[in-house]
Amino acid sequence: MSLRMDHHDAGSRHAAGLFAPAAMHRPGDGHALLAPVLVLNASYEPINVCAARRALVLVLKGVAMTEEENGHFLHSARVAMRLPSVIRLLEYRRIPHQSRALSRKNILLRDRNTCQYCATVLPSGELTLDHVIPRSRGGSSTWENLVACCHGCNRRKGNQSPTEAGMKLMREPRAFNLHTSRHIMRLMGRSDDKWRKYLFY
């Protein structure tokens, strides 16, 4: 059975409600809830990255346990909890070795929020998706034809191919598969010492 890390049932909504933004009274908590958390299978195999808020929900529901903490506290009116940096599922989940769903979020994750033409790293809200071969010229919306792009490069490229616009892609776009996921986890792990022992072996 595969694990959908982005699925919220009634139980998770209730658990998340304990720590809804309105209940917080420390300015830093909101940002801390967005911090990345490494998700391990019961076998300690790294399988995903989720936001601290989602990780906390999984722990509160008894689906996972905290293996490492990130040093931040989450405060509500009734309780203060340490936020996790690494969590481990309590039951082993079989994770299908298949590509992720094609979505804007996953394209930006694959491209590490980096414009694939000028190499500028930007927040998600300041990036768009570019069709390498424009749709008006037969380009399709696929992993191999969509890349993260800043608005400046998107305007410059317009309705042209990269060659016609005198632009070059940083790397050939590929589908987001298990190998891509592991590579990104390892890149993220370089900035968090608590992840290293689970990712570098």
**How do residues 146-201 score in pLDDT, each as one tens digit?**
999 999 999 999 999 999 999 999 999 988 766 677 777 777 766 678 888 888 65
Q: Which domain does 157 fall in, by range?
A: 104-165
Tell me the per-residue pLDDT of 53-67, one tens digit each, with 9 for 90 and over: 999 999 999 999 999
Tell me, yes or no, whether 24 and 88 share the same domain: yes
- Burial bucket for residue 4 (CB in 10 Å: 0-12, 13-18, 19+): exposed
- For residue 48, give the 3-state DSSP assignment: strand
Q: Return the pLDDT at 47.
A: 85
Tell me, yes or no, whether 74 and 139 share the same domain: no
Tell me, yes or no, whether 92 and 114 share the same domain: no
Total number of domains in the chain = 2
pTM of the model: 0.56
Domain membership of residue 3 (yes or no) is no
Domain membership of residue 109 (yes or no) is yes
- pLDDT reading at 46 higher than 80: yes
Tell me, yes or no, whether 93 and 187 share the same domain: yes
Tokens 């801390």 identify what position? Answer: 32
Domain membership of residue 183 (yes or no) is yes
Tell me, yes or no, whether 51 and 142 share the same domain: no
Domain membership of residue 174 (yes or no) is no
Domain membership of residue 46 (yes or no) is yes
What does the alpha-carbon distance between residue 40 and residue 49 come to, in Å, rounded to a whole number? 9
Tell me, yes or no, whether 90 and 124 share the same domain: no
Return the top range by mean pLDDT from 7-21, 35-49, 98-112.
35-49
Can you read off the two tokens belonging to residue 132?
């390498």
Domain membership of residue 1 (yes or no) is no
Tell me, yes or no, whether 86 and 113 share the same domain: no
Tell me, yes or no, whether 29 and 126 share the same domain: no
Residue 37 sits at the vertex; the CA angle it makes with 32 and 39, to the nearest 5 degrees, is 155
What does the alpha-carbon distance between residue 7 and residue 100 come to, in Å, rounded to a whole number? 15
| CATH code of the domain in which 159 resides | 1.10.30.50
Tell me, yes or no, whether 17 and 59 share the same domain: yes
Tell me, yes or no, whether 184 and 159 share the same domain: no
